[in-house]
Amino acid sequence: MGRGRWRLRGAAVGILVGASLALAGRPLNVDDADPVAPGQFEIEVGGAFDRDAGDRNGELVFGWTYGVWPGLEAGVGASARRGRWEETDETSGTSAAREESGFGDITLGLKWRVIESGPLGARHALALSLKLPTAEESKGLGSGKTDYDATWIASRALSDKLNAHLNVGYAWIGGPDADALHYGAALDFQFTETVQGVVEVFAERETAGGAKTAAQIQIGFRWAVTESLTLDAAAGTKIRGGAPDFAATAGLTWAFGFGEKGD
């Protein structure tokens, strides 16, 4: 049987059609340049779903991040997946539905804020991540290879309530897929003291010759239920290319620890 299509997305494990490894703040794929404060922990739990033609993919994602020292955080992400997709036999050309479930790959990441206040007041950070091949390759849930990613992040306050974030990154893919360039932009706006709206556009293009850019838009919100607990949800659709026709996520972030929340 030919290789199935497993479309990745979510806070801990990916964006569109390849493995993007940056650990972003829920519910966005575009990250911000502000690491977790020293001594603080953040635990993220969420569910994600995407649909593209006859393919259906669901995912439960987990993320854990710790502020190591001022301007530096370390994190780990994991997932459990269930998917249904059409697979084509390379010999006969016939197609058949395939359904699998299991654990996904584990991602390790670092985010380092290298510039606290650059030109135009922007904050800049570098995110490095490593995807370990813990998913079952035989089930089509992973490539069985190690991937690497480096992403440059810039964030800037446009007003007291509005912030902008830009990402540009490159993923070195160890499996059969080509390496990929990924990038995106996001805005967050503070509607009330506890509710924040978010919107992003993000894209990915494999570096192989003739590859088309896959792009998606997503809109959502964050609701700070308490000082430590934030709920979130977002949904989106493709703009072009091989992005999912529809994608949605919902989850929570729990912050706690020994340091100050703002560094």
What average pLDDT score do residues 77-81 get?
Answer: 92
Answer yes or no: is pLDDT of 94 > 90.
no
Q: What is the pLDDT of residues 247-262, one digit of tens each?
A: 999 999 999 997 555 5
pLDDT of amino acid 263: 54
Please give the structure tokens belonging to residue 11.
Answer: 């806070």
Q: What totals of helices (H) and strands (E) does the chain contain, helices first?
A: 0, 13
Q: Is 148's pLDDT higher than 70? A: yes
Average pLDDT over residues 198-214: 91
Residue 29 resides in a domain: no
pLDDT band at residue 15, thresholds of 50, 70 and 90?
very low
Whether 107 is in a domain gets the answer yes
- Sign of the C-alpha dihedral computed for residues 163, 164, 170 and 175 taken in this order: positive
The chain-wide mean pLDDT, for the chain, equals 86
Does any domain span residue 75?
Answer: yes
Structural domain count of the chain: 1
Burial class (CB in 10 A: 0-12, 13-18, 19+), 111: buried
Range of the domain at 243: 40-257
pLDDT in tens, 18-70: 333 445 689 999 999 999 999 999 999 999 999 988 788 999 999 999 999 99
Q: What percent of the chain has pLDDT over 90?
A: 65
Is residue 131 over pLDDT 50?
yes
CA distance 78 to 99: 20
pLDDT of residue 14: 39
Mean pLDDT of 240-244: 89
pLDDT for res 261: 58
Identify whether 27 is part of a domain: no
- Between 46-50, 70-74, 96-100, the lowest mean confidence (pLDDT) is in 96-100
pLDDT at 137: 80
Give me the long-range contacts of 151-154 (CB less than 8 A, separation at least 24).
Answer: 151/22, 151/31, 151/126, 151/127, 151/182, 152/124, 152/125, 152/126, 153/31, 153/32, 153/33, 153/111, 153/124, 153/125, 153/126, 153/127, 154/33, 154/118, 154/122, 154/123, 154/124, 154/125
Q: How far apart are CA 71 and CA 37, in angstroms?
A: 7
Q: Which whole number is the average pLDDT over 238-253?
A: 94
- Proportion of the chain above pLDDT 70, given as a percent: 87
CATH number of the domain residue 53 falls in: 2.40.128.130
Q: What is the pTM of this model?
A: 0.86
Predicted pLDDT at 201: 97
- With H, G, I as helix, E, B as strand and everything else as coil, classify residue 121: helix
Q: What was the pLDDT predicted at 216? A: 96
Q: Is residue 32 part of a domain?
A: no
Mean pLDDT is lowest, of 9-13, 48-52, 66-70, 174-178, for: 9-13
Asked if the structure places residue 57 within a domain, the reply is yes
